[in-house]
Structure 1
């Protein structure tokens, strides 16, 4: 073959309720990408152990993320939906990559620094090695593209570094095994087994901020439930949270320039724009000069119209855990076929008997 088969891989951790930011920034994009190439969407339950080992409801959270995938419109028949721990090769390839990656690479990961805080010596080894497992998640399927947000770009660069080092370290064995292809990285020709995965950024990513503080991202971990719109919130709750969202006393501007220095106004306009598939400038052309007392009800109606069908379907699916488990079992078996083939080739290349 002259090039790697186009393949998308992405995953979400089963920790906390998914919210509007997850939907606009990830799930809606996942659905759209199904029309472009083959997709593998994973619930990365093994990753959830890195920050917190003991969970009371990990199985339920895994099912809830799966329900959100399906309710948003991901097709588990045409594509693959599964949970990471169903396919043991994720952990096996991660160990090989632990031996490929350098400690210095891991220590430079900003997300490790942020999550470990000042007490880095007490952080789990899993938290430090988490990007290596992420690289294994992607490269186990020899994925070529990953939809990423700003917080994962560094990890994707590390995935490329790991792939490149593996390809170079074992280039002769890859060639002898007949499993690789010739690619060019920069000006360097390489006979590669793993692709140099590319970030997939579809237009300007909506950055959804907290409803209580427009300078902070909407987060599952924020102690205030009023800071986010959960995908499980009913219509009345969505409307109440938007009504209580922090704003300022000024009217909405008619032009984008007028949003500078007004984080909360910018956030609500951005949410309206993302939900309606419009530009912020178009939203301001319609609502410029109006007070938030007029804008918020329109935003609430829009949010409910978009999210209510997803919420209703998620509830239906969550009431049928057997169906969700069957989807994950089927997806795990199909993913496992690909993963087994990759690891068989890795064994041959590395020399594992």
Structure 2
């Protein structure tokens, strides 16, 4: 049986505004988990360098993402909340993992293929090694679980591969130093330094799609601001975006089967269900046979009611950068204690000479 201390790690990049999909698919769940788990939540500002952001924008975005975390309900006293670059051991462990991971593993990453496009030779080394840093983010704290969406599962599988290869490559050293932990891997019980981190996959209702194209995920990087509801949007903007959301000419169906082949309708029903805490079936029973104009009005009212308190708190926090910085500073100090203890063991495992 896995005897690592159960710990959750997750984070978001400070690029673009966090939106409704981020809230329903991640933040809302993070808030719930902090009441029952040991949680570490990070603003992964080092990852943002892969797109060479303007330095001032990166500073501001880091604070804005932190404000969104706190406004959504993350409690910096219950959880550790910090920005990645504040804890130097992230990059130190990433280099060790760069020497563990194989180039073939990185080349197979779907995200690298998508972002590098056809001109791979012109892609940055950071973009290629991005998943190695992600593995370091997770394993630096020996996190046992990561809440992820289906599209991030490949990166977590790579993290598991890196952990397993490290444990195997240094098995004798780990054993001689007495720093290994017994854990179950399949039918076997093995000893290793890093856990084989498990995914916590969010349910299908949490997969929020674009308001302009129901076949694509709602994204911070979509060039159309109408494709998403940002957490910073005011009530008027939210209402306008929902009113303009793409739909079809048919009425709301009364049964789930009636949503097949209707991506935009399915998405809006899913958003209503997620915001109201209902199943899609209940939403269809309430609105079946009605036109989208009526449904969108109800959805806009619901979205404004749910998101306005978060928006107002975000704006209050953004206006107080000194407080945000104090939260990140305190979280960074607490994270650094865990990080240095684990990194010190890694240095000993791989053979680095230390005082």
- TM-score tier (shorter): over 0.9
Superposition deviation, residue 201 in structure 1: 2.2
Change (3 A) 1:2 1:111: closer
In the alignment, the residues of structure 1 paired with residue 177 and residue 53 of structure 2 have an alpha-carbon distance, to the nearest angstrom, of 39
Q: How much is the aligned-residue C-alpha RMSD, in angstroms?
A: 1.2
Secondary structure of the 2:10 match is strand
TM-aligned CA distance change 1:137 to 1:7, over 3 Å: same
Show the 5 A alignment for 1:89-104.
89-104=89-104
**Larger mean Cα displacement after TM superposition, 307-316 or 56-65:** 56-65
For 1:219 and 1:204, the matched residues in 2 are separated by: 17
State how 1:314-333 maps to structure 2 within 5 Å.
Answer: 314-333=314-333
Q: Does 1:66 align with 2:66?
A: yes
Contact 1:256 / 1:281 at 8 angstroms: preserved in 2? yes
Instruction: Tell me by how many angstroms 1:2 deviates.
Output: 6.8
Select between 240-249 and 317-326 the one with higher mean Cα deviation. 240-249
Once the 2 structures are TM-superposed, how far is the Cα of residue 185 of structure 1 from its aligned partner?
Answer: 1.4
Normalised by the length of structure 1, the TM-score is: 0.98
Per the alignment, residue 208 of structure 1 pairs with 208
Cα distance in 2, alignment partners of residues 269 and 108 from structure 1: 35
User: Are 1:220 and 2:227 an aligned pair?
Assistant: no
Residues 1:205 and 1:272: Cα distance change in structure 2 (over 3 Å): closer
Q: Which shows bigger deviation, 95-104 or 48-57?
A: 48-57
Q: Deviations over 1:295-321 (max 9, x none)?
A: 111000000010000000000000000
Name the counterpart of 1:231: 231
Is 2:247 the counterpart of 1:247?
A: yes
Q: Which residue of 1 aligns with 2:107?
A: 107
Which digits, 9 at most, give the CA deviation of each residue in 1:306-337, with x for residues without a partner? 00000000000000000000000000000000
CA–CA separation in structure 1 for the residues paired with 2:283 and 2:79:
35
In structure 1, what is the equivalent of residue 281 of structure 2?
281
Partner of 2:230, secondary structure, is coil
Report SS of the residue matched to 1:40: strand
User: 1:297 aligned to 2:297?
Assistant: yes
Q: Secondary structure at the match of 2:297?
A: helix
Instruction: Find the aligned partners of 2:169 and 2:305 in 1 and give their Cα distance.
Output: 53
Q: After TM superposition, give the deviation of residue 53 of structure 1 in Å.
A: 5.2
For the residues of structure 1 that align with 2:246 and 2:100, how far apart are their CA atoms? 48
Match of 1:23 in 2: 23
- Tell me how far 1:52 sits from its aligned partner: 2.7
1:133 has 2:111 as partner: no
TM-score after normalising by structure 2: 0.97
Rate the CA distance shift 1:205–1:351 in 2: closer, same or farther, 3 A: farther
State the SS of the aligned residue for 1:8.
strand
Residues in 2 aligned to 1:215 and 1:162: alpha-carbon distance in whole angstroms? 33
Structure 1 Cα separation of the partners of residues 36 and 47 of structure 2: 27
Whole-Å Cα distance in 1 between the matches of residues 125 and 112 of structure 2?
Answer: 11
Give structure 2 stretches of 5+ with no counterpart: none
